[in-house]
Structure 1
Amino acid sequence: MTTLVVGATGATGRLLVEQLLQRGEAVKAIVRRTGTFNEFITSHPDFTEILASVHDMTVGELAQQVEGCNAIASCLGHNITFKGVFGKPRLLVTDTIRKLCEAVQSTNPAQPVRVVLMNTVGNSNRDLAEKVSFAQRCVIGLLRITVPPLRDNEQAADYLRTRIGQNHETLQWAAVRPDALIDESEVTAYDLYPSPIRSAIFNPGKTSRINVAHFMAELMTDQETWNQWQGQMPVIYNRPE
């Protein structure tokens, strides 16, 4: 199996690439700069690095990269700088997911391709009647107006929910929603839920990046896990000690 990873040089993306290679999967990563991966990744025979800006690639160029891939993972996010949050491209994640999906469709794969999107627990799954307090709705509404990355995350997931949907011929998807991200060196126990069990604003949980990478790798390589969560937006929390 071959997986294309975008956002592979980010804190979670690098961990995902490593997880996939450790499972014996081939990985292609589109990166804007080289020299960001550890020796295990760069020396691995099943790793391919494509030097390009994924946002600037055309659908035709992306089609060359997705052809033959069984899965696509997006760990794209906006840099936490003034330019990264408020500058262009405002819809980095949404535009990339849309073009990747169009690229897959243009290749007419024999089997549906899995698309796994790293999203955020601050984004509600509007396919479900998720309970969100009035206070949280107010805060999220303000953030949606003032912080473009939130709107980008929402629209990326909405594209998968509404444009790809549940019965697409060539694409299947899942959007992983971590809570407050932390760094840990090893995979630990974690819990998965269809919807948040706590307030992302007023009572956030913790999710380690390496656990997010582990779960995303599970989705792309384990059929039972995929059957359980495909077409959904699972929430992942580190299990309390």
Structure 2
Amino acid sequence: MPGRTRALAALSGVLMWAAGNGLATYSAAYASSSFIVMAMGTIPLWTVATEAVLTRTPPSRRVLGALGVGFLGLGLVVAPGLFSADILEPDHAAVTILMLVGGGATWATGTAIQKRVAPAFTIPSLAALQFTAAALVLAGPALAVGVPRPDHVGAAQWAAFGYLVVFGSAISLSAYAVVVRTFSASVASTFAYVNPVVGVLLGTVVLREDIAPVSILGLLVVLTAVGAVLVAPTRATRPRQDGPPP
């Protein structure tokens, strides 16, 4: 297997799990959970845009229009956070929004790259390479910041850790690799449909978070735009005929 293929697979893991997830996780210190998942709901739109760049195939006018509407929806989602301390910490509002936008874009780019290299790997080997690369990249900032150690680690903490390792990491990453290999990158990224709905419900019910009506409207605009992108017909090249038709 060429070293370039391994490098691209490692890069896809860094973009998704270190940059995409890392930026979203870091944003949790300055933003409500429901706000974060709503902002990350644009991942399918970023994926379509990234695919167009990598394949050098311009999207149709319908797709371009849907992308424009989707990013308008993103603006509606993040706008209330600039004026409410309950949604975004005022001193970090602009930076947090940039981190969330960057998180969605890097995840989409990683997905598009993974789509191209996945056939060269088995699912376990691809997942292991991606996780290892992401872990090595994250180890540097973690050591530099000085990750605090809990004073007491009980059964509940070990159970939570085990759940994240097994279900939140190994199984979820392997499942996503299977989906990316089987379907297009834009279809695979539609997992972002579920995240905003679940995140908003959990944020409201469990954490008692307030959600601005404008943000809900923005989320609906984003999901509508993503739906328009996915149902838009793809451009296909008609087969060339060497001779006149019979």
TM-score by length of 2: 0.25
Higher strand share goes to which structure? 1
More helix by share: 2
Bigger relative CO (Cα 8 Å, ≥ 6 apart) = 2
